Chain A
Amino acid sequence: MASGVLVFGEATEDGALAPVTGELLGAAKSLGGPVTCALLGAGVEGLAQQCGPLGADKVIVVDDPLLKDYQGDAYVPIGERIARETDASVVLFGQTMVGRDMAPRLAQRLNTAVAMDCVELTMNGDRLTAGRPCYGGSARARYTFNATPQMATVRAKVFDPQPDASKQAEVVKQDAGVSADAIRAKVTGRRKEAAEGIRLEDAPVVVSGGRGLGGPEGFKEIEEMASVLGGAVGASRAVCDLGWYPVAAQVGLTGKVVTPDVYIAVGISGASQHMAGISQVKNIVAINKDPEANIFKSSRFAVVGDWKEVVAGFTEKARELKTG
C-alpha cells in the first residue's frame, strides 16, 4: 500500500539547496506520512544533511557528473526507479524548469497524472486534492486522481518551509545507473542572460514595466526607480516579446514568479498571465493611465495618470526619503 510523500528537491546553479526544496518539504510534512527527498545532480551529496531539518525522513542522493545539467533522458529513468522503490502515495516537484519538463514525463512512465503549478494541496484520507490556477489565473481548478502516485508540481513561494533543527534524515546514496548513450536529447551549450544587481526572485522591491511605457527607452526611468528603491526590474511578457527588455526579466505565468514586499507595475494592464507571476504579492502598486486597467483590481495602491510624470515625481521623492 503506497504511503507517504516523495519530494524531488533541487540545487541551485551555485550548488546550494534551492529554496523550493524547503517549500516542497514543508508542503509534504503537512500532507502526512513519511517524507522522502530525492536529490539528483552533480555535487549535491553535501546538501543531503540540510533536508532533514526541513522535514525529510530519508534522503536519496544520486550524485553523478552526468547529472550536472538537467537532461530529461537521464533524470526521468532515475526518477522512475526512485518513485517505484519509494512507493509513495504523493510525489511532488517544484514548478521549476526541471519540474515542468520532468514531472509530466515521469507521470506517464508511472501511468499516472500530475497536476501542474499547484497552489493548494489537501489530503483526505489517502486522497490528494490539488488546486491550481488555470485560464491564466482567472479561474482555479481542483483535481483528484484516478491513479497513484498522485503527482503535483508546486508553484514557488506558496508553501512555507517548516524547519525543525533537531530533525535528521537517513541519507542513502544511489548510483545513477544511466549511461551517457541513453541521452537522446543532449544539452550542447548554455548561456546566461545575466541581469545586473539584485536577483528578481530575491528582491524586496520589484518595479516592472509594460507596454504602456511606449518603447524600450522607458525602461531607463524604471531602472532608475528600482535602483533608488534597492529593487530589481521586471517586465511583462508583452514587452519581452517586443524585444524591449530581456526575457530573463519576464514576470508571469511563462516567466518568473516573484514575491517582493512591494511590486510596482508601471504601464502594465494586468493580463491574467502577468498576474499569475505576482499572485502571492501582498502590496501591488499600479501606475496606469487607464482607470479600467485590470491590475487595479489587485492593487493596494493605485495612481491613474501619465506614467512618466508619476514616476518622475515618485523617484524624486523616494530619493529624498531614502537619503534624508
Chain B
Amino acid sequence: MPHIVCCVKQVPDPEAPASQFKVDEAARKVLPIPGIQPVPSQFDTIGVEAALRIKDKIADTTITILTLGPDSFRDAIKHCLAMGADEGVHINDPALNDADHWAAAEILAAAIKSLQPVDLVICGRQAVDWDMGIVGSTIAEIMDMPVVTIAKELQMDGGKVTVERVLLDGFETVESPTPCVVTVSNELGEPRYPQLRQIMQAAKKEVKTLTGADLGIAEARNRVNLEALFVPESKVETEFIEADSGKEAGEKLALRLREEKLI
C-alpha cells in the first residue's frame, strides 16, 4: 500500500494578462488581479498527475495532498482531490504565512513526518510564483531521503523509483530506493482535469487542518529577507514594419536587419 504525499501550492494565475501584473513595492507583494482566481501551481498539479499515474497501476496507493498557506489554499487541495487524490492536509496558521522557502520546507517536512509511513514525496520542480525551485530538495535533505529533481517520467515499483530526468540536451535515467523525494517538470505531460462527478466526490473527502503547534513549530524561521520587489523596466523602442502584404513586410524586415548589420 504505497503512500505518496504531493506538496501543492496556490499561486496567482500565471495565465493572467501580463498587462495586469502589478506589485505593491512598499508591501513587497504581488497584487491580486480582481476577478481572477488563484490556481494550484502548475508544476504541482503535474506532480499530482505523476502520483495518479502510479495509482492507475498500483490501485491501493494512497495519495495525500499537503499544502501550507491561508484559507484560500483549501481550493488547491480540493482541486487535487477532484483530480483523484485521496486525502488533504492543510497547514493553516497565520504565524507561518510569511515562511520563506527554507521555513516552508521545514514545516512541510515536519508535516510529512507526522503522515508516515510515506514512500514517496512529489513536488513541482519550482512554484510558478517565486520560481525558486528549492523546496523539494530541502525537504529531502531535512528528512535524509534521496532526491531526484526535474523528472519527466516517474515509475514506482517494489521499493524503488525509476525516474527519467530532463537534461539540457537529453535525458538521464535515475534509480532511487524509496522513501525518496521527486520533483517533476512540465515534460511529464498535462495534469488531468477533474470531471464534475469527481468535483462532487471531492467535496466529501476529508481535509485535515494542522497548525504550527501540531507540528511543534511556533514560528517561521526565515533565512532570507525580501528587501525589494518590483517590476523591472523595459526600455525597448519597437519599430513596427508595415507593408501592403505579409510577404512584403517580411522582405522589408530582412532589409532592415541587413541595414543594422544584424543578419
Contacts and interface: CB of A to CB of B under 8 A. Distances in A.
Chains A and B come from one and the same complex: yes
B162 to A, nearest CB: 8
B190 interface: yes
A206 B218 CA distance: 51
B131 interface: yes
Interface string A223-241: 0000001000000010011
Contact of A108 (B14, B18, B102, B146): B102
A134 B131 CA distance: 6
Contacts of B245: 309, 313
B134 A114 contact: yes
A185 B150 contact: no
Interface stretch (B65-73, B79-87, B248-256): B248-256
Contacts of B152: 247
B146 A184 contact: yes
A195 interface: yes
Nearest to A186: B175
Contacts of B203: none
A169 B197 CA distance: 67
Contact of B234 (A184, A187, A297): A297
A301 B176 contact: no
Given A104-B134, A143-B224, A205 B263 contact: yes
Nearest to A241: B186
Interface string A92-121: 000011001101110111001111110000
B263 A318 contact: yes
Q: B interface, how many residues as a size bin?
A: 35 or more
Given A144-B225, A296-B238, A303 B249 contact: yes
Contact of A139 (B23, B128, B140, B224): B23
A284 B19 CA distance: 19
Interface string A163-187: 0000000000000000000001111
Interface string B219-255: 0001111111111101011111100011111110111
B180 A185 contact: yes
Q: A interface, how many residues as a size bin?
A: 35 or more
Given A140-B230, A310-B247, A314-B251, A146 B236 contact: no
Contact of A298 (B174, B177, B234, B256): B234
A187 B172 contact: yes
A302 B257 CA distance: 11
A17 B131 CA distance: 28
Contacts of A321: 254-255, 258, 263
Main secondary structure on A side of the interface with B: mixed
B78 to A, nearest CB: 24
Interface string A259-274: 0011000000011110
A247 to B, nearest CB: 6
A41 to B, nearest CB: 15
B171 A193 contact: yes
A303 B141 contact: no
A6 to B, nearest CB: 18
Contact of B238 (A101, A271, A301, A313): A301
Interface in A167-218: 184-195, 205
A136 interface: yes
B227 A143 contact: yes
A248 B170 CA distance: 6
Contacts of A262: 257, 262-263
Contacts of A308: 246
A275 B198 CA distance: 36
B90 interface: no
A82 to B, nearest CB: 17
A141 B130 contact: yes
A301 B239 contact: yes
Contacts of B169: 192-195, 248
Nearest to A297: B234
Which 7 A-B residue pairings sit nearest by Cβ, starting from the closest?
A313-B250, A309-B246, A314-B250, A313-B247, A104-B134, A113-B223, A185-B176
Given A294-B19, A309-B247, A313-B248, 10 more contacts: A72-B147, A97-B150, A105-B138, A108-B138, A142-B227, A185-B147, A185-B174, A248-B168, A287-B250, A306-B246
Interface of A: 69, 72-73, 96-97, 100-101, 103-105, 107-109, 112-117, 129, 131, 133-136, 138-147, 184-195, 205, 229, 237, 240-241, 247-248, 253-254, 256, 261-262, 270-273, 283-285, 287, 294, 296-306, 308-318, 321-322
Interface of B: 12, 14, 18-19, 21, 23, 30, 100-102, 105, 125-126, 128-134, 137-138, 140-142, 146-150, 152, 166-177, 180, 185-187, 189-190, 222-232, 234, 236-241, 245-251, 253-258, 260, 262-263
